[in-house]
Structure 1
């Protein structure tokens, strides 16, 4: 059982940036060396409920939680857009946070109906089909947008490194960044989970009312199929990955008209979608 540190917080604190890395002591194997310390990334357990219905518990980095919740809600198809999220309230506990999210009646009905369908097939041999439908969902086809100019990718790894303030101190963090139409890094969100980082960025972009059909979004992690799902649901125009995509990821990006670009370490950027 966790003990609450505080049961409610000010609205200004619900989306506070991540705290500084934690200093943790360590001792090297060699005898006689003094005790040292390292700055390590923090993580907490986050439980999310929608209209009182428990939905998910996951480990996240403890900053920009409202961005994450809003992005998670859209990218996981719980709500269609931010207008269906009426309120987000966070309660802080020791090493954990409870998020109580109020959503529209339409979204809540759809969420409950989906959960009933999953429960109803749990013992009839169809649960594998349901799981596949979640892994390979039907998504809206996007309107195609122009590719970013090639020069905007010049030195992009160095610019990403400059924007990743938390990773410079502690490492062990993925990042998702939005670059505007001029190639400037506007928003960076970091997290121990690559999905979490993108969800935080999506939430921040939608709250700020930024048109993500222009510019491009960068993920520093492996570009998994789940990230394509999130990008399409959030109606991003261009997704850029620092790690090579899989063949299936490319197929889905092409099918849904999402621009997909890989920026290798030493070679020129590679356009995988459009084909």
Structure 2
């Protein structure tokens, strides 16, 4: 069995930088100010030399992104199918050369699609309904997490969002283990990318998923449900409301789906309440 990919000694870019700006005012503008803004880079991902996608992502945790992107899209079924990751490039243009097992490469070519590099990308580039609505394995039903795990959750996740606190403009995905402890978080300009990075980090660190839950700060739509199902995470908590189709898929696939509104009690959408 191949060993898990080690971090590449490639470029370690900054996730943010300081920029100057002027205030728009009726009177003459004063001295310029500075603020920290989130950065983004274009990453071209190739598998066994075959170009697959170009994505706009935040430049941190790129190895996690590549692993989670591969798992979340179903191109590999296990991190053990990734043999090597080589990152290269400078500035806004980066490359990720990924070596994967022959069986995984065959599957990738069978379902190959080109995904445009947009930070808001969801199902861009999908050419058939079968790709947008794939057949995914159902999870084994699991109990809902204790209600006290979600108390003050919005405040508790903030320390795991350093880039968002400094710059804004980014989404976060986080993981809570089976003891209700927040373990790690990942941030990105793209909500899908943030979840990919989290899934990749969990896989690379060999974290047990049973009994744990993922938390996303963004809108919860179908493609996030699909990524969590493929990863085998049994509960998803969203700080923003889910779409109707996301709820339908969560119920059909036995995924616990909880929305945590700002001023109301947690809302359990899946499993469906049956009086």
State TM-score, norm by structure 2. Answer: 0.88
1:15–1:63 contact (8 Å) kept in structure 2 = no
Q: Secondary structure at the match of 1:115?
A: coil
Match of 1:63 in 2: 60
With over 3 angstroms needed to count, the CA separation of the structure-2 counterparts of 1:38 and 1:133, relative to structure 1, is same
Q: For 1:266 and 1:238, how far apart are their aligned partners in 2?
A: 21
Shift of 1:90: 0.4
- Give the counterpart of 1:158 among 139, 155, 160: 155
Relative distance call for 1:223 and 1:110 in structure 2 (3 A) is: same
Instruction: State how far apart, in whole Å, the 2-side matches of 1:203 and 1:32 are.
Output: 46
The structure whose residues are more often helix, as a share, is 1
Q: Tell me, what secondary structure is at the counterpart of 2:20?
A: strand
Separation in 2 of the partners of 1:213 and 1:224? Answer: 23
Please give the residue correspondences for 1:96-111 in structure 2 after superposition, counting only pairs within 5 Å: 96-111=93-108
Q: Which residue of 2 aligns with 1:134?
A: 131
Aligned residues: 254
Residue in structure 2 matched with residue 258 of structure 1 by the alignment:
255
TM-score (norm 1): 0.88
Cα distance, 1:100–1:217 mapped onto 2, change above 3 Å = same
Structure 1 unaligned blocks of 5 or more: 1-9, 117-127
How far apart, CA to CA, are the structure 2 residues paired with 1:114 and 1:226?
A: 16
In structure 2, runs of 5+ residues without a counterpart are 1-5, 114-124
Structure 1 87/159 Cα, relative in aligned 2: closer, same or farther at 3 Å? same
2:190 corresponds to: 193
Q: Cα 1:100–1:24, aligned 2, differ >3 Å: closer, same or farther?
A: same
Residue 21 of structure 1 corresponds to: 16
Residue 15 (structure 1) shift: 9.4
Q: Distance in 1 between matches of 2:8 and 2:87?
A: 11
Q: Cα offset for 1:273?
A: 0.7
Output the CA distance in 1 between the equivalents of 2:233 and 2:175: 10
Match of 1:219 in 2: 216
Q: Does 1:167 align with 2:164?
A: yes
